[in-house]
């Protein structure tokens, strides 16, 4: 984890959303933070497993207390809750950008042998974004990764963001959560019970958690802290090795640590190093600096235009408030703005345009976007982001035809953001037949994309195809692991099919019957887990 000392301001947190109240209320937050990952295991397993780990860091791949299948199921259980959290956000632009970095790192991990074929096949390898304004990212069991918008908003380069993703990816490939479980199983039953009760109580009564955990054993806590520090160092070293093969500058690791060090000065409680769940940032910086090639400069690479715009978007979408939006709108009019570097101007203009759009001041939004487009001229990736923003503004202004023109202007690099924008515009124009094929192709290749499934449901409904619409709605629920809701919609589809005499509906009904049985099985499995 990257910044576990800072108490999150929102429920989306670095292990499980319910544990944020534990961290806020305990008198020894640093000590208890080291147990958060173990709380995940305790909730998922319900009982201690046989001890398999030693006090020192195990050999890579050694000491796993969970099978890959068990870890994936545990991750699925946790992720179901995060999908329901109001801080979860599926912004096509931000998700597309992060996924691009993530895919490059995964490819490098495969090529270097860090990602085994078994893990590659069994784990989800999905990234979720949270609207939390804290600087943090976290790994979950089963190949799930969470990134706070606060982190995306402060990183100056794609290399810095990639360094965080590489670090968290390494937590997963090295089976750190499973190894933590093995370490935890060596603790006393009383401590394990207190951890489980505290995690469960946190989601119901934050005030009750302090009394449940304060009695934990100091020696057990210290052992857990030591284990955690070793894992963080390991994730740093392996993540660093993924940077260059992925096309990112290794200096991003060092510059990212510098940002964390600055943040920690504001939020540090002064605990001695042996009482910290993570190595001191200075120690981690020194380790990464020593790995730079001779003559390497431990400075961040210049921020490119696209990243500057993406970071600006993250800051705005983290819901900073009307006052902040107004200040951002005014920044491009400040004295000396024209003399600032291009990435800084691009970020400010993007922020101003998006802030104006959120405040429904569309004239100001269009003006800022036009100035932005002039700044990024010649940079294909940045121009694509500018046109996406222009389409977004026109949609918000109720001008879908104008939005379509901007979407159609994106020739190279068009992807999911363009598909979503185009669908939204065509839905408003009543021309859904033009996009149905593209949506169907997308969900075939990305069956867990809940947002696109829902858009497909809307297009089918607009075309007078209620059975197909209901099935798409069910698939959208299933993609978010809400199997009970999926069962409800599939049953509604069965009712519709009984009233239809269409041959096409007969085929769709057969698919619905098959998917309903699969969802009912998953619902029973969920019930058994409780």
H or E, element range at 509: helix 503-529
For residue 506, tell me if it sits in a domain. yes
CA–CA distances in Å: residue 141 to residues 39, 115, 371: 12, 15, 44
Tokens of 480: 């978010």
Q: Return the pLDDT at 177.
A: 74
Last residue of a domain, one of 389, 413, 429: 429
| 525 in the same domain as 387 | no
Domain tally for the chain?
Answer: 3
| 457 in the same domain as 409 | no
| 438 in the same domain as 524 | yes
| 329 in the same domain as 284 | no
For residue 297, tell me if it sits in a domain. no
Last residue of a domain, one of 429, 455, 480: 429
According to DSSP H, which parts of 340-429 are helical?
A: 342-358, 362-375, 380-396, 400-408, 416-429
| 460 in the same domain as 391 | no
**Domain membership of residue 418 as a residue range:** 302-429
For residue 31, tell me if it sits in a domain. yes
For residue 6, tell me if it sits in a domain. no
| 496 in the same domain as 355 | no
Q: Return the pLDDT at 223.
A: 52
For residue 335, tell me if it sits in a domain. yes
Q: What is the pTM of this model?
A: 0.81
CA-wise closest residue to 150 among 343, 252, 33, 9: 9
CA–CA distances in Å: residue 159 to residues 95, 512, 515: 17, 45, 42
For residue 421, tell me if it sits in a domain. yes
Q: Return the pLDDT at 226.
A: 54
| 116 in the same domain as 251 | yes
Last residue of a domain, one of 429, 450, 468: 429
How far apart CA 129 and CA 88 sit, in angstroms, is: 6
H or E, element range at 202: helix 189-202
Tens-level pLDDT at each residue, the chain (530 residues): 554 444 444 434 333 333 333 333 333 333 333 333 333 333 233 333 333 333 333 334 444 467 888 888 878 888 888 888 888 999 999 999 999 999 999 999 999 999 999 999 999 999 999 998 888 888 888 899 989 999 999 999 999 999 999 999 998 999 887 777 666 555 444 444 444 334 434 433 444 434 333 433 444 444 554 557 788 888 888 999 999 999 999 888 888 877 776 666 555 545 444 334 555 566 666 666 666 666 554 444 445 899 999 999 999 999 889 999 999 999 999 999 999 999 999 999 999 999 999 999 999 999 999 999 999 999 999 999 999 999 999 999 999 999 999 999 887 878 999 999 999 999 999 999 999 999 999 999 999 999 999 999 999 999 999 999 999 999 999 999 999 999 999 999 999 999 887 766 788 999 999 999 999 999 998 888 76
Measured N-to-C along each axis, helices 416-429 and 92-112 cross at an angle, to the nearest 10 degrees, of 150
| 267 in the same domain as 229 | yes
What is the strand order of the sheet 88-89 is part of?
88-89, 126-130, 144-148, 137-140
| 367 in the same domain as 330 | yes
| 277 in the same domain as 157 | yes
For residue 87, tell me if it sits in a domain. yes
Question: 78 with 40: CB under 8 angstroms?
Answer: yes
| 326 in the same domain as 440 | no
Q: Return the pLDDT at 7.
A: 40
Q: Residue 324 sits in a domain of what CATH number?
A: 1.25.40
| 209 in the same domain as 65 | yes
Q: Return the pLDDT at 63.
A: 43
For 321, phi then psi, to 5°, come to: 110, 160
Buried b (16+ CB within 10 A) or exposed e, 215-253: ebeeebbebbbbbbbbbbbbbbebbbbbbeebebbbbbb
For residue 480, tell me if it sits in a domain. yes
CB atoms within 10 A of CB 109: 26
């Amino acid at each position: 984890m990257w910044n576990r000392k800072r108490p999150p301001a929102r429920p989306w947190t670095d292990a499980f959303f319910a544990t944020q109240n534990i961290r806020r209320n305990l008198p020894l937050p640093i000590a208890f933070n080291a147990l958060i990952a173990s709380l995940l295991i305790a909730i998922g397993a319900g009982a201690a497993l046989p001890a398999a780990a030693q006090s020192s860091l195990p050999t890579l791949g050694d000491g796993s207390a969970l099978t890959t299948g068990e870890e994936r199921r545990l991750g699925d259980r946790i992720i179901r809750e995060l999908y329901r959290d109001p801080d979860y956000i599926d912004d096509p632009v931000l998700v597309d950008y992060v996924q691009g970095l993530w895919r490059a790192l995964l490819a490098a991990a495969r090529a270097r042998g860090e990602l085994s074929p078994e893990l590659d096949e069994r784990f989800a390898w999905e990234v979720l974004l949270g609207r939390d304004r804290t600087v943090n990212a976290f790994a979950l069991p089963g190949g799930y990764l969470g990134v706070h918008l606060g982190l995306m908003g402060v990183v100056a380069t794609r290399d810095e963001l990639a360094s965080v993703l590489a670090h968290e990816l390494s937590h997963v490939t090295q089976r750190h959560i499973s190894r933590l479980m093995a370490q935890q199983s060596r603790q006393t039953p009383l401590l394990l019970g207190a951890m489980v009760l505290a995690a469960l109580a946190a989601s119901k009564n934050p005030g009750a958690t302090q009394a449940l955990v304060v009695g934990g054993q100091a020696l057990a806590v210290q052992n857990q802290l030591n284990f955690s520090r070793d894992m963080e160092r390991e994730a740093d070293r392996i993540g660093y090795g993924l940077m260059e093969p992925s096309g990112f500058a290794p200096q991003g690791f060092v510059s990212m640590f510098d940002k964390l060090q600055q943040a920690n000065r504001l939020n540090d409680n002064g605990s001695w190093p042996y009482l910290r769940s993570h190595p001191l940032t200075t120690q981690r910086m020194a380790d990464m600096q020593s790995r730079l090639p001779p003559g390497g400069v431990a400075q961040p690479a210049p921020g490119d235009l696209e990243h500057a715009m993406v970071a600006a978007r993250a800051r705005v979408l983290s819901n900073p408030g009307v006052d902040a939006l107004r200040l951002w709108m005014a920044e491009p009019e400040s004295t000396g703005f024209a003399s600032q570097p291009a990435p800084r101007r691009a970020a400010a203009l993007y922020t101003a345009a998006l802030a104006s759009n959120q405040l429904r001041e569309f004239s100001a939004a269009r003006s800022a976007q036009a100035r932005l487009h002039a700044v990024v001229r010649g940079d294909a990736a940045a121009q694509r982001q500018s046109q996406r923003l222009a389409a977004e503004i026109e949609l918000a202004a109720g001008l879908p035809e104008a939005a379509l023109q901007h979407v159609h202007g994106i020739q190279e690099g068009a992807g999911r953001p363009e598909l979503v924008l185009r669908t939204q515009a065509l839905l408003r124009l009543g021309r859904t037949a033009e996009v149905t094929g593209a949506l169907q192709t997308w969900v075939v290749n990305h069956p867990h994309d809940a947002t696109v499934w829902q858009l497909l449901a809307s297009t089918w409904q607009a075309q007078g195809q209620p059975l197909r619409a209901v099935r798409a709605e069910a698939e959208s629920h299933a993609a978010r692991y809400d199997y009970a809701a999926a069962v409800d919609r599939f049953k509604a589809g069965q009712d519709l099919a009984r009233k239809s005499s269409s041959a096409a509906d007969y085929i769709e009904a057969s698919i619905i019957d098959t998917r309903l049985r699969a969802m009912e099985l998953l619902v029973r499995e969920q019930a058994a887990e409780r």
